[in-house]
Each structure stands twice: as structure tokens, then as C-alpha cells.
Amino acid sequence: MPGHTGRDRTLDQGHRTLPSPAEHVLRNHRRSGSGDGRRVPVTDPKDPLERVSGILEELAANAGGEIEHDGAEALASSHRFRLPTDATRFETLYQVTQAVTSILDPVELRERTLDLLLDAIEADRGTIFVVDPDTGRLEPAATRNIDNETLEDATCYSNNILQKAGGELPVILSYDTRGDTRFNRFQSVATLEIHSFMCVPIRHDDDLIGTVYVDCRSGRKRFTEDDLNFLVAFTNIAGAALRNAASHQDVLQENRTLKKEMSERFVFENLIASSAAMQPVVDLVRRVMESSVTVQIAGETGTGKEVIARAIHHNGVRASQPFVAINCAAMPETLVESELFGHRRGAFTDAKENKKGLFEAADQGTIFLDEVGELSPAVQAKLLRVLQEGEVTRIGESDPRHVDVRVISATNRDLENEVAAGSFREDLFYRLNVVVVKLPPLRERREDIPLLMTHFVEKYSQRHNKKPAGIDPSIVTSLTAFDWPGNVRELENEVERMVALSRDRELITPALLSAKLNGPSEPTEERGQCGTLLLPGDPRPLKLEGMEGERELKPRVDLFEKALLLRELELHKGNKTSTAKTLGLSRAGLNKKLVKLGVLGNG
């Protein structure tokens, strides 16, 4: 229950006071004061006991304010803080202070803290409880020799402290449970012969982190007021250590979350995929990312095959390793083998020195072979060996080298036809074709065009230092209606051209479109006097007749609705029942709209 504030907390036996957590201990857990008030680094090896003593002296000096205890039957009792006097205990406090900077794992820190405490006060058993930030409940975080029965009672004592956290924050000390009527009802005290125990809150600043419970079952030990003094000082320092470790874990978790978000952002910022046609692609990419399975990406030129390959790599198990890409069609056949597999010095005329191939460069990572269908039969044979054996042999060498590489290939050819024609190895085809990702052409995913356009405008505005005021809406219509034989790559080039030619603080207008998109300025017989609109998920253009001169919203909405109804009726050959079903209307509802929009008469 974080966030509890209040003046100095007090508990039982004669109006004595338990101070709030030591500000110097908590705020300066990386620096402490010596006895003369000087600032000395905690990690300074000189006289750690003196430094811890100085902190505790300040703690005692600042203790003030008294509050009466809750009565004889209260579990909690009031107590005035006093300095521990045992040098061993000063050393223990110093070790806990060191733990603030030396142990950042919360589990390890709680275990170490409890061990130090039990050794210092010679307790038989103990538990550290922490407050669950989500539920506000106490949960055991570290235990030593504790049975379930005692754990239940210790939880009850701790909850008693939590209940008082809004006002006075108590401690619990029972010197001798046999004569302490407060604990008669607790089963563990009687059946397990617990002779003495303490329960104290763990705080940091004004936040309650949890509690610590310790007990003794042997008759040789009874907890004293000195033990309580030590435990209070101990928990003040431990509270800072535990909060420090928790904060460190929060940072680690935040980093993990950010890395995950970055991975997802890579997929969706570089793979614009809101259309229905792209959803199977995204789903398949997600499924293959976490394995090293061989993937082949098929699609027309410019559909974004390398973007898919990079998304698979950068979001997968090999993300921290190299990603190496090569376009097999862009390199002379005589150089492809050397580029992929490397060569030995003197292996051929221009081999001036030893060279590592791309497969070796991509070891532990991913190699992307674009236009893999262009490889010669000789290179296909060597590629097959890499896939089968995980080995490459440099030109001019006889000893193979082992590589661990994920292979992602891409092609715009129909490799099955190439296999049938004898120009591509059948065994290699099956090795590359384990998982196939098929990319649709841009004309089949027109809904993505406005998103792609926006993405490219932002990208090239930054690259070319341009600040356009925005985009004329009519450009979206033109770009969406075009078939884009060069796919996303062609669209990207068109948008970059418009951005480069645009003026700062002015709209990007249709005048900047290339001739293939701009078309004639006057309406042709084919175009008539109507505009067209493409709806998301629907490649069929919607004719909007009479929209040109209309500026008010309602008439425009009516024209749009009328155009949609007429097109659906046409598609369903005038069948109102099936048309209504497609539009999610009843037949009566459809008739009502047709009358309202003037398609049907009132009769």
C-alpha cells in the first residue's frame, strides 16, 4: 500500500516513539555521513561501522513526536528507537547498505537480506512479505524454516500493521509469548512453541513496501528492545535496497517492452498491411519469425519482398545477428559464386587476396537471396550443399567451412515451371520452398495505397528536408485508381518525386503527378461528369454522379448512399432481397431508403 504518509509513528510500552524511515538512510543510500557530519562514499573501505553509526545517530536525533498506544490488547505496541550497540550488528547494517548497489535482482536481494537478518539477531525463522502493487495484498517473498501455520499467523500480524498504515505505523514485539495475552488466539504460538517474535514494516520514503517477521522457538533466545532497535534500523536500510532492486527490474521490463514494441513497429511501419489481401501475409510472417525455417517469398517485382525478409529477421530469434542481402540477378554470373561462397587468394586471375563469402558473413544470422531463380546450375549445386549440410567451400579450397545461416529467398518467377523446363534444380526447389509467403500485387490491395502514400511522404519529407502543408485529397483518388505495374516500388518513386518537387508550406497538388497519373484535364466521354471512389476492401470503383457542384454535407452523403445502393442492385441484378442482405438491411429497410433517395417512387 504505497503512498501512506504521516508524522512519526509510535507504538506500545510507555509512550515511546518509532520514527519515520531515516531520510538520510533512504535518500543517501549511495552516500552516508560520518560521525562528524562529513559526506563519505559508502564504498570507501575506511571504517564502515563509523559511517553506519553516524547515519543511525542522525536517525535517533531526528526521532520526535509521541502517540499513545492502542491499548493492552493491541497487537502493535509503541517503541522509542535506540541505536544498536553491537559492533557485529553495525557490520550487518553496513552489508545491507552495500547490497543497495551490489544486488539488483529482487529475489536474490530478499534472500540475502533475510539471511543477514537471521544471523545478526540469532532468530530461528523468518519471512519477508511484500505488498503486491496490483492487489495491495501481502505476499511472502522470502522464507526461512517457516511452516504454513506460522505463515498464516505472520500474515495476520503483517496485515495488522498494514491496517494501521494510514495513521500510526506500528511494530510488533513479543518478548515472551507465554505471558503475552495479545497472542493467545494464534495457533502457531501455542502448538509450535514460539517463545518470542517481532514483526516490523519495511518502508522507503513514505511508501510501505512490506513487512519482516522473525521468531525464536528455542528457549535460549528472547528478543529484546535492542533486537527491535536493530530490526527497525535494518528494515529502513533494506527498504531502500528493495525499492532500488524493484526499480531496476521495472527498467529492465520497460526495456523489454520497448524492444518488443520496436519489433512490432518495424513490422507495421515497413510493412503497411491494413488490407484484407495482406492479412494472411502478416499472419504467416508472425508464425515463421520465431523459428529458423527456410522461407521463400514470391511476388511480382516491387511488391516488397525484401521488406518481408527483413521483418522476419529483425523480429526473430536471429535479430541480433547479421542480415545479408544479395540480388542474384544484378551481378554477373562469373562473380556470383565468389560473392556467395568466397575464394582463396590466387584461385582466379582477380583473386588478389582471400575473401570471405556472404554465407560466412551471415553466419548465425540470415541471408536473403533475391531473384534466386537467376542462379546458374553450378551455383545452384553449391547452394543446395549449404542447405543440406550447412557447409560452404571457397573457390580454390577443398576443405568446407561450417555455417549456421537462415536462408530466405525471393523470386518473381514461377519456379515450378522453371523446374519443369529443367532450368532450376528440383531438389533445390524443395529445399527453398519449405514455407512460401505470397505477396499480392498493389492493384489487389488498393486500400493500402493511402497509408503507403502517407508513409512515403513522411519518409521523403525528412530525407529531402521538405515541409509540405499536406496532400490534396484528389491525389489519393488518382493514386488509388492507378494499377501500378511496378507495385509498391513504383508508388514510392512517384511519391518521392512529388515531395522533391513540392514547396514548403504548400499542398502537394495533382499538378505534381507524373503524366501517366495526371491524365487529361477535361472530362472525356469515357470519364463523363462523375467522379469515382474506391472503398476499403472493395476494388470496384463507386460512381459518384452529381457530386462536383455539391458542397453541403447531407446532399453529398445522400449522393454517396444512392450510388452505393444502385451499384449493389446492379451487382445483384435487381434482386432486392440479396441486395438488402449484402448491405445488412431488411428488404423493407432497403425499399425505404430507395424511396427516400428518389430511386423508387412512393407508390
Q: What percent of the chain has pLDDT over 90?
A: 32
Spacing of C-alpha 340 from chain mean position? 36
Question: At 168, which helix (H) or strand (E)?
Answer: none
Provide the grid cell at 194: 514460539
On average, the pLDDT of the chain sits at 77
Cα 387–393–395 angle (5° rounding)? Answer: 130
Identify residue 79 by its one-letter amino acid code: H
Number of H helices, E strands in the chain: 21, 22
- pLDDT category at 15 given cuts 50, 70, 90 is very low
pLDDT digits (tens, 9 = 90+) for 251-264: 777 767 665 655 55
Is 129 strand, coil or helix? strand
The residues near 19 (Cβ < 8 Å, ≥ 6 apart) are: 8, 9, 59, 60, 62, 63, 64, 81
What are the distances in angstroms from CA 421 to CA 19, 230, 299, 383?
A: 89, 87, 20, 20
Judge whether residue 96 has pLDDT over 80.
no
pLDDT average, residue stretch 554-577: 79
pLDDT digits (tens, 9 = 90+) for 464-487: 999 888 888 888 888 998 999 999
Question: Which burial class, exposed, middle or buried, applies to 256 when counting CB atoms under 10 A from its CB (0-12, 13-18, 19+)?
Answer: exposed
pLDDT average, residue stretch 25-48: 38
CA distance 82 to 80: 6
**183 compared with 257, residue with greater pLDDT:** 183
Provide the grid cell at 504: 514548403
What secondary structure does DSSP assign to 324-393, as a single string? Answer: EEEEGGGS-HHHHHHHHHEE-TTSSTT--S-EE-HHHHTTTSEEEEETGGG--HHHHHHHHHHHHHSEE-
Q: What is the pLDDT of residue 530?
A: 47
**In this structure, are residues 412 and 406 in contact, taking their beta carbons and an 8 Å threshold?**
no
Sign of CA dihedral 573, 574, 577, 580: positive
Identify residue 566 by its one-letter amino acid code: L
- Tell me which residue of 63, 59, 92 sits closest to 79, measured CA to CA: 63
Most confident region among 5-9, 187-191, 457-461, 583-587 by mean pLDDT = 457-461
Spacing of C-alpha 218 from chain mean position? 51
pLDDT digits (tens, 9 = 90+) for 115-166: 988 888 889 899 999 988 878 888 899 999 888 878 888 888 877 766 654 4
- pLDDT category at 548 given cuts 50, 70, 90 is low
pLDDT average, residue stretch 449-469: 90
Cα 392–397–401 angle (5° rounding)? Answer: 30
Q: What is the pLDDT of residue 158?
A: 77
**74 compared with 442, residue with greater pLDDT:** 442
Q: What is the pLDDT of residue 258?
A: 63
CA distance 100 to 109: 9
Judge whether residue 51 has pLDDT over 60.
no
Residue spans of alpha helices (H) in 40-105? 48-62, 87-102
How are beta strands 138-144 and 125-131 bridged, if at all? antiparallel
**521 compared with 553, residue with greater pLDDT:** 553
**In this structure, are residues 77 and 170 in contact, taking their beta carbons and an 8 Å threshold?**
yes
Q: What is the pLDDT of residue 173?
A: 86
Q: What is the pLDDT of residue 169?
A: 61
- pLDDT category at 35 given cuts 50, 70, 90 is very low
User: What is the pTM for the complete model shown?
Assistant: 0.47
Identify residue 225 by its one-letter amino acid code: E
Most confident region among 33-42, 66-75, 251-260, 515-524 by mean pLDDT = 251-260
Q: What is the pLDDT of residue 495?
A: 95
Provide the grid cell at 563: 450510388
Judge whether residue 500 has pLDDT over 90.
yes
Q: What is the pLDDT of residue 28?
A: 41
**In this structure, are residues 457 and 471 in contact, taking their beta carbons and an 8 Å threshold?**
yes
- With helix as H, strand as E and coil as C, how does 376-444 read? CHHHHHHHHHHHHHCEECCECCCCCEECCCEEEEEECCCHHHHHHHCCCCHHHHHHHCCEEEECCCHHH
- pLDDT category at 46 given cuts 50, 70, 90 is very low
Question: At 200, which helix (H) or strand (E)?
Answer: strand 196-204
CA distance 196 to 185: 15
Q: What is the pLDDT of residue 426?
A: 96
Q: Which domains does the chain have, with CATH numbers?
A: 10-248 (3.30.450.40), 274-440 (3.40.50.300), 442-519 (1.10.8.60), 530-603 (1.10.10)
Q: What is the pLDDT of residue 540?
A: 58
Q: What is the pLDDT of residue 247?
A: 83
Q: What is the pLDDT of residue 549?
A: 58
pLDDT digits (tens, 9 = 90+) for 206-240: 788 899 999 988 777 788 888 888 888 888 888 88
**81 compared with 548, residue with greater pLDDT:** 548
Question: At 126, which helix (H) or strand (E)?
Answer: strand 125-131
